[in-house]
């Protein structure tokens, strides 16, 4: 079933054999630091078509048929701030979905999706929109403790998708989102397969 939603997660969609295979792939990729000045993660790209057809089929069943434009093993060490995954140089058509398959994490963690849409970046969003003044609970503020207070004023209605082995997390690429603050200990990390799609030709 293709979801008529901007974001969703499906539990237990992948079996242990599929996860083990993805973990094997993740161990084989060479570590490439993320683009930009600050280090957050290794973003190790590889060909989406290298994934077994059973895994690709399960993803297509959820989001529909789209063209993969980015496929990577994400090894995150510093929690990602609020951003959009919309812009990408490999997109030949309109960007559609981002997907994430959790593979390994040192501590309980979430991907946090907000209601706001942006095609460039957070600074652009802040320049063109008013503050939302959404009230976050204490627990939410705790999970978002790495986000600047000023940035949090511009986003609302967060959905916290907890990482679970076997799950698939999907969101529209124009949605502002971030990691939670999973770094309670110095060596905390999280590893996932991440792919971006655009409309088919």
| Residue 30 to residue 15: CA distance in whole angstroms | 25
| Binding of Fe ion by 118 (CB under 5 A) | no
Residues 46-65 close enough to bind Fe ion by CB under 5 A: none
| Binding of Fe ion by 76 (CB under 5 A) | no
| Residue 149 to residue 145: CA distance in whole angstroms | 9
Q: Which is nearer to Fe ion, 85 or 116 (CB)?
A: 85
Q: Which is nearer to Fe ion, 81 or 166 (CB)?
A: 81
Total binding residues for Fe ion by CB under 5 A?
1
Tell me how far, at minimum, the Cβ of 53 lies from Fe ion, in Å. Answer: 26
The window from 18-26, 68-76, 83-91, 155-163 that contacts Fe ion (CB under 5 A) reads 83-91
Q: Is the dihedral of CA 38, 40, 41, 43 positive or negative?
A: negative
| Residue 62 to residue 167: CA distance in whole angstroms | 12
Collapse the DSSP code of 114 into the 3-class scheme (helix H, G, I; strand E, B; otherwise coil) and give the result: strand
| Binding of Fe ion by 91 (CB under 5 A) | no
Q: Nearest to residue 148, comparing CAs of 114, 121, 181? A: 181
| Binding of Fe ion by 85 (CB under 5 A) | yes
Q: Which is nearer to Fe ion, 43 or 183 (CB)?
A: 43
The number of C-alpha atoms within 13 Å of 2 and in the hemisphere containing its C-beta is 8
The pair of structure tokens assigned to 144 is 């978002």
The window from 78-86, 130-138, 142-150, 161-169 that contacts Fe ion (CB under 5 A) reads 78-86
Tell me how far, at minimum, the Cβ of 114 lies from Fe ion, in Å. Answer: 12
Pair 117, 190: CB distance under 8 Å: no
Q: Which is nearer to Fe ion, 76 or 85 (CB)?
A: 85
The pair of structure tokens assigned to 140 is 């939410």
Tell me how far, at minimum, the Cβ of 170 lies from Fe ion, in Å. Answer: 12
Binding residues for Fe ion (CB under 5 A): 85
């Amino acid at each position: 079933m293709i979801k008529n939603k901007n974001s969703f997660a499906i539990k237990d969609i992948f079996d242990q054999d599929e996860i083990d295979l993805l973990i094997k792939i993740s161990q084989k990729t060479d570590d490439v630091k993320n683009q930009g000045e600050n280090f957050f993660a290794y973003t190790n790209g590889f060909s989406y078509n290298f994934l077994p057809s059973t895994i690709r089929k399960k993803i297509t069943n959820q989001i529909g048929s789209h063209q993969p434009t980015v496929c990577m093993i994400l090894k995150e060490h510093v929690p990602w701030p609020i951003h959009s995954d919309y812009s990408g140089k490999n997109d030949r058509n309109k960007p559609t979905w981002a997907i994430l398959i959790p593979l390994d994490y040192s501590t309980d963690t979430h991907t946090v999706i907000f209601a706001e849409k942006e095609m460039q970046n957070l600074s652009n969003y802040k320049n063109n929109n008013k503050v939302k003044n959404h009230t976050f609970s204490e627990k939410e503020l705790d999970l978002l403790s790495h986000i600047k207070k000023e940035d949090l004023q511009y986003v609302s209605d967060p959905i916290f998708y907890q990482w679970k082995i076997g799950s698939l997390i999907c969101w529209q690429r124009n949605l502002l989102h971030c990691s939670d603050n999973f770094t309670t200990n110095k060596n905390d990390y999280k590893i996932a397969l991440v792919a971006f799609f655009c409309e088919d030709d």
